[in-house]
Amino acid sequence: MDETTMNPGPVGDRDTSKTNRYQQLIEWVFQRHYVAGDTAVYWERSELEEGAKELGIDLPRNLGDVVYAIRYRIPLPQSVIETAAAGMEWIIRGNGRAKYVFNLIPAQVRIRPDMALTVTKIPNATPEIIAATALGDEQALLALVRYNRLIDIFLGVTAYSLQNHLRTTTRKIGQVEIDEVYVAVDQHGRQFVIPVQAKGGNDEIGITQTEQDLAVCADKWPDMICRPVSAQFVADGRIALFELALQDEQIRVRRQAHYKLVPAADITKRDLDLYSLVSDADAVDAAVVDPPAAEG
C-alpha cells in the first residue's frame, strides 16, 4: 500500500469567511468585558449567541467550534492581541461547564515539526479497509498511529488504546475532550496513561489542550504517570510525534520524532544502517527517561 494513503497532507486554505465571523464573535465578547489592566476576562458560551444577533452574522451550528478554531487554527482578533503587554499573550481556558476565561500568560513558543530531524521508516501495517474508509484528517491520523503502534515505538512502552474521543468533565475546566487515550507499561512495571491529541496540517499545538489532558489524567487516573503526546501530519507524508510537558507556564517538547509508513520493501539496508547508529545505551535511556509531572 502506498505510504500516502490516508495522508491528505496539509489542510487547504482557510475559510476566510468563517475566520472573520469567528474573530468578530470573539472580539465582541472580549470587548464586552475587558477593562484596561485585566489579566483575566470571564465569559460564557451563550454570549456568542448574543454577539451573533447584535452583529447580524450567522451563528455556527456548533458554538464550541468558535472556541476550538481560535485556540488552534486562527489568531485572535488584532484588537485583542494589542491589549497584551510585551512578552504576554491571551489564551482561552475552560472555566466550568460552557464557561471560559481569557487569561494573559507569557508568550508561548510555537511548536512545529522540526524538518531537520531524521525520518524513521516503519512497515505500514494499516489494514487497507481502514485506509479506504477513515473519515477526515483526525480519524486517519489516529488510525495510522494506532495500527502501526507508533506510541509504543515512540515512548519505548507497550501501549493499548483505551478509548477514542473521551468526553468528560474536570474540576474548574469543565467539559473536555481527548482524541484518544492509551494506557501503557514499561520494562520496569511503571504504568502510564497517555492522552493523544491529533493535529491536522494547520492546527497548532496549544497549551490549553495539554493542560486539559493533564487535568483529566490527574482526575481519572491519579495513580498512573501521565505522558501527553501530540501527533501531527507533515507535508511530505511523515507523521511527527511530540511528547509534551508544562514548565513555567510554557508548553515544552520533551522529545520529538518523525515516522513514515512505507511498504516493507522500501526500507533499505542503508536505512537500517542509519538506525543502527543508535547505541544500546541510548535506546535504554530513551525508554526509561523520567516522565513529566503534572503541574497543579
**Residue 176, pLDDT score:** 87
What are the phi and psi torsion angles at 248 (to 5°)?
A: 55, 50
**Residue 158, pLDDT score:** 98
Reported as a single tens digit per residue, the pLDDT across 126-151 is: 998 887 877 668 889 999 999 999 99
* Residues in the chain, pLDDT under 50: 1-15, 279-281, 284, 287-288, 296
**Residue 6, pLDDT score:** 41
Contact by Cβ (8 Å): 260, 239: yes
State the CB neighbour count (10 A cutoff) for residue 120.
Answer: 18
Q: What's the N-to-C CA distance of the chain in angstroms?
A: 45
Q: State how far the Cα of 223 lies from the Cα of 218, in Å rounded to an integer.
A: 8
Contact by Cβ (8 Å): 45, 99: yes
**DSSP state, residue 200:** -
β-bridge partners, 244: 253
**Residue 12, pLDDT score:** 37
Contact by Cβ (8 Å): 257, 154: yes
The x, y and z cell numbers of residue 164, run together, are: 477514542
Contact by Cβ (8 Å): 249, 122: no
Residues comprising the chain, all counted: 296
**Residue 178, pLDDT score:** 93
**Residue 139, pLDDT score:** 86
